[in-house]
């Protein structure tokens, strides 16, 4: 089996949600900047050498919806022969994209690939009902009713739904959010 190496890394700066320098910047624009930065920093590798771009996105909806991996590849003017796709592993989406690209290189499916991650939470409406639906299918207790799920929501809420402090979900108080994080 071949070895896979990370030869260049680029990241965009972060800032405060809704108040920072990128509050009105679209996610694909930030991603395109990073993709172009990778190519600029990697001497001897042009866009035509990249066979695949895999982008992890925790919430692929709204502006970062559809297939942001392919959309960003096209906006960044990679050739049509460069594949682009999006993977969702929630908070580990970017890491998953890098791991998958490393595996693809190791088994010989491609020689040059980009693994990336993007998510802009400012444009995402985290609907608690959708989150509850996702978690309920993991529950094996058939007698669990909707009211008890709502009562115990703090222990089921993904960190993104609470922002770590309960502000994004109006019916979830700070104390419940802390209890959920400690569990």
CATH architecture of 27-123: 3-Layer(aba) Sandwich (3.40)
pLDDT band at 14; cut points 50, 70, 90: confident
> What's the pLDDT tens digit per position in 77-110?
999 999 999 999 888 899 999 999 999 999 999 9
Residue 159, pLDDT above cutoff 90: no
Assess whether pLDDT exceeds 70 at residue 168. no
Percent of the chain with pLDDT strictly greater than 90: 43
| Side-chain half-sphere exposure of 176, counting CA atoms within 13 A | 18
Going by C-beta distance under 8 Å and a sequence separation of 6 or more, which residues neighbour residue 107? 1, 2
- What are the angstrom distances between the C-alpha of 166 and each of 131, 152, 159, 169? 14, 14, 9, 6
Stretch 109-131: mean pLDDT, rounded? 74
The domain spans of the chain are 27-123, 128-182
- Residue 68 and residue 31 in contact, taking contact as beta carbons nearer than 8 Å: yes
What pLDDT band is residue 6 in, cutting at 50, 70 and 90? very high
- Average pLDDT over the chain reads 74
Does residue 183 surpass a pLDDT of 70?
A: no
């Amino acid at each position: 089996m071949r070895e896979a190496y990370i030869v260049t890394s680029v990241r965009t700066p972060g800032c405060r949600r809704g108040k920072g320098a990128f509050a009105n910047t679209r996610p694909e624009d930030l991603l395109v900047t990073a993709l172009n930065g990778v190519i600029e920093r990697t001497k001897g590798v042009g866009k035509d050498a990249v066979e695949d771009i895999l982008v992890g996105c925790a919430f692929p909806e709204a502006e970062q919806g559809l297939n942001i991996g392919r959309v960003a590849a096209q906006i960044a003017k990679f050739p049509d022969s460069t594949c682009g796709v999006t993977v969702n592993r929630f908070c580990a989406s970017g890491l998953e994209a890098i791991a998958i690209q490393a595996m693809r290189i190791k088994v010989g499916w491609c020689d040059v690939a980009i693994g990336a991650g993007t998510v802009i939470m400012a444009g995402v409406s985290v609907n608690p009902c959708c989150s509850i639906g996702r978690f309920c299918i993991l529950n094996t207790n058939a007698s669990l009713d909707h009211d008890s799920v709502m009562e115990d929501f703090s222990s089921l809420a993904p960190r993104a739904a609470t922002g770590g402090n309960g502000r994004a979900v109006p019916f979830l108080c700070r104390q419940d959010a802390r209890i959920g994080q400690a569990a």
